[in-house]
Amino acid sequence: MSKDFRPWKIDETQLLPPSVQDYVPRDHLSRLIVALVREELDLSAIAGSYRSVLGQPPFDPRMMTALLLHGYASGIYSSRRIARAASERADFMMIVAGDAPDFRTISEFRRRHLKALAALFVQVLQLAEKAGLVKLGHVALDGTKIKANASKHKAMSYERMKKREAELAAEVDRWLKAAEAADREEDKLYGKQRGDEMPDWVADKQKRLEKIRQAKAELEAEAKAAAEQEMRRREKAEEQRKAEGRKKNGKTPAPPKTEPEGKAQRNFTDPESRILKTKDGYIQGYNAQAAVDAQAQIIVAQSLTHSMSDQDQLVPLIDEIKDNLGRKPKEASADAGYCSEANLAALAEREVGAYLATGRAKHPAEGRPKITGPLVQAMRDKLKRAGRRTRYRLRKQVVEPVFGQIKQARGFRQFLLRGIEKVRAEWALICTAHNLTKLARAA
């Protein structure tokens, strides 16, 4: 006897037309995002920018915002992939109500309102606090290197720029001299044309030469600014020494160089990105920072820099937590990349309990004592006394899983936008989407 199967009613029409919402579970992330966008989030900065009554009515900003936020929370970042999902996936179809925008419309909406979309991070964070997901008892800080939308092979060092600039200038100059000497022959060759049309290869070399000169000038300007800043620092330190009546120790240091180091590099695709070292080698990218609350792994502060070092990011992140939520955390932990006398003093001044590793080793208090000073030594002793019971152990289980969820679970490993301001806004969107997923899980 053959097995009976459930009927497959693929060709059967339904008595009543179905709603696309019927195919999305009530506890789905997309429903939470739609509810927040419609009832909680203030989108006046976006809606207020539409003032002209001419042309076709634009898509509802609430729908477009919900579509982008759900895309980022679902690990879909490209405008083309979001547009495809809006016509293929039930959760995205529910958001657009069956009227899917074109990928160009999605891309233009993100470009036009990027700053306002990044500002939603604070609103979503405050909603998470109201839901009881943020306690600020312990906050862990860390950074992760993310690839820029540029190849590291499109970068050139200052030394190479000077050499290549001379080579290209000589090549273009040789061609121009040859062209001037061959005017009559070219008149016969080109006929009615002017005869001075530039070949494609020369135009390309001239464009390349202009790019190299521009990048070279930017590196020189940066080096000059850094030298001036160093001179001001030395003058201030000298004035303080004289005021305190201390003797001058050692030789007078050589003046800072106003010319860039030969190995200083600039990328032609995204000039504001930098070559950064990671455990897997070198990448062209940015250093993304996050401060994560231990209660539910909510990101309470975020920033982005193109610097390799993390030291200068600790105090701004702690201050941003207070700006975002109106109060500071009780404790903060971070790895050895954030440890310095200045940072420990700043945390003590803000009355934040510090747990900063003093060396890069298996145990936070071990490793070669490269970082010195009385506050660093006190921190080293504090971590040794606590041993395995130290609060520093919370860092790995609080902040590192967040980067794993962003990069591994949601597949964000490269920025789509270029330029540090746009990339900062994109990172804010990524952090907003992460907090939305935590809100949905708690709900």
What's the CA gap between 419 and 51, in Å, rounded?
A: 29
Domain residue spans of the chain:
29-120, 134-151+274-361+371-440
Four-CA torsion 399, 127, 433, 307, nearest 10 degrees: -50
Give the contacts of 39 (CB within 8 A, at least 6 positions apart): none
Model confidence band, residue 71 (pLDDT cutoffs 50, 70, 90): very high
What's the CA gap between 234 and 247, in Å, rounded?
A: 15
Model confidence band, residue 219 (pLDDT cutoffs 50, 70, 90): low
CA distances from 56 to 50, 52, 59, 370 (A): 12, 10, 9, 64
Contact 387, 366 (CB under 8 A): no
Per-residue pLDDT tens over the stretch 248-295: 776 777 777 777 676 667 777 888 888 898 888 889 999 999 999 999
Buried b (16+ CB within 10 A) or exposed e, 236-248: eeeeeeeeeeeee
Give the contacts of 291 (CB within 8 A, at least 6 positions apart): 139, 140, 141, 299, 300, 301, 302, 317, 318, 320, 321, 332, 399
Q: Is the pLDDT of residue 299 over 90?
A: yes
What's the CA gap between 21 and 359, in Å, rounded?
A: 54
% of the chain with per-residue pLDDT over 90: 49
Mean pLDDT of 130-158: 87
Q: What angle do CA 66, 68, 70 make, to 5 degrees?
A: 65
Mean pLDDT of 303-314: 92
- More confident site: 232 or 412: 412
Model confidence band, residue 114 (pLDDT cutoffs 50, 70, 90): very high
Mean pLDDT of 82-110: 94
% of the chain with per-residue pLDDT over 70: 81
- The architecture CATH gives domain 134-151+274-361+371-440: 2-Layer Sandwich (3.30)
Measured between its terminal Cα atoms, the distance across the chain in Å is 49
Q: Which of 52-56, 191-195, 422-426 has the highest mean pLDDT?
A: 422-426
Per-residue pLDDT tens over the stretch 317-326: 999 999 999 9
Model confidence band, residue 146 (pLDDT cutoffs 50, 70, 90): very high
Report CA Rg, the chain: 29
Res 52: pLDDT: 76
Per-residue pLDDT tens over the stretch 9-47: 888 887 877 788 888 999 999 999 999 999 999 999 999
- More confident site: 182 or 242: 242
Instruction: Map tokens 């121009």 to a residue.
Output: 176
What pTM did the predictor assign? Answer: 0.81
Contact 125, 298 (CB under 8 A): yes
